[in-house]
């Protein structure tokens, strides 16, 4: 009785000795998804008065289907005890206190002032290592749809100033979570986005 052996699934091109694996049929890509984005944010100034003077410790960014996000870590703040802030679109940014200009790239500039010093009010020790006019430490905006630039403008009299360079003047929202202030800037003014 003759024994059968398994033959590998490959074709040998005649006369070349080269094995070629059969190609699988390519699956059709899934259809694009339509995402319903939050609406009603607007682009007017936002202000919140608060006397919760906790230091800023970090700034992070993230990407979402409908918006880009910047998170300001302010430990000890919460929705019940928020960090105060002043946000507005501006044509140029100057440092609070010194009046020095801060160059910011992008088609629009969002000026952010948070009532949270970049130092410990009790000791004066630095809690956030930003340098006036420089990009935000550790923030890489490569591939972001809305954020183009993020600069540190300084910390003066218990307030820290940041500047975001955006693709265009777009709607945004700001809200407080435990230990962090969150700012979302929409990719578009439209409510629905097609995502591939």
Mean pLDDT, residues 93-102 taken together: 88
| pLDDT value for 52 | 78
Q: What is the pTM of this model?
A: 0.80
pLDDT in tens, 8-62: 444 454 555 555 555 556 677 776 777 789 888 999 999 999 887 899 999 999 9
Q: Is 27 helix (H, G, I), strand (E, B) or coil?
A: coil
Q: Judge whether 155 and 117 are in contact, CB under 8 Å.
A: yes
Cα 169 from Cα 167, distance rounded (Å): 7
Is the confidence at residue 194, as pLDDT, over 70?
no
pLDDT in tens, 130-159: 999 999 999 999 999 999 999 999 999 999
pLDDT in tens, 62-84: 999 999 999 999 999 999 999 99
Report the candidate in 103, 89, 83, 115 with the shortest Cα–Cα distance to residue 153. Answer: 103
Q: Which residues of 163-172 are buried (b: 16+ CB within 10 A; e: fewer)?
A: bbbbbeebbb
Structure tokens at 172: 């945004």
Q: Which residues contact 95 (CB under 8 A, 6 or more apart)?
A: 101, 102, 132, 133, 153, 154, 156, 161
Query: Any idea of the CA torsion for 64, 177, 136, 104, to the nearest 10 degrees?
Result: 70
């Amino acid at each position: 009785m003759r024994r059968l052996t398994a033959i590998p699934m490959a074709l040998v091109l005649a006369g070349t000795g080269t094995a070629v694996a059969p190609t699988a049929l390519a699956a059709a890509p899934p259809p694009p998804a339509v995402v319903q984005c939050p609406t009603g944010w607007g682009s007017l100034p936002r202000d919140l008065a608060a006397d919760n003077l906790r230091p800023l410790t970090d700034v992070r960014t993230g990407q979402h289907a409908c918006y880009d996000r910047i998170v300001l870590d302010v430990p000890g703040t919460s929705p019940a005890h928020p960090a105060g802030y002043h946000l507005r679109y501006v044509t140029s940014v100057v440092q609070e206190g010194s009046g020095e200009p801060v160059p910011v790239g992008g088609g629009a500039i969002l000026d952010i002032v948070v009532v949270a010093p970049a130092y410990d009010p009790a000791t004066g020790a630095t809690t956030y290592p930003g340098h006036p006019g420089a990009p935000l430490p550790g923030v890489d905006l490569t591939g972001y749809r809305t954020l183009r630039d993020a600069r540190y403008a300084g910390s003066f009299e218990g307030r820290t100033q940041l500047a975001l360079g955006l693709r265009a003047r777009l709607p945004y929202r700001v809200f407080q979570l435990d230990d962090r202030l969150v700012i979302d800037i929409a990719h578009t003014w439209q409510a629905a986005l097609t995502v591939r």
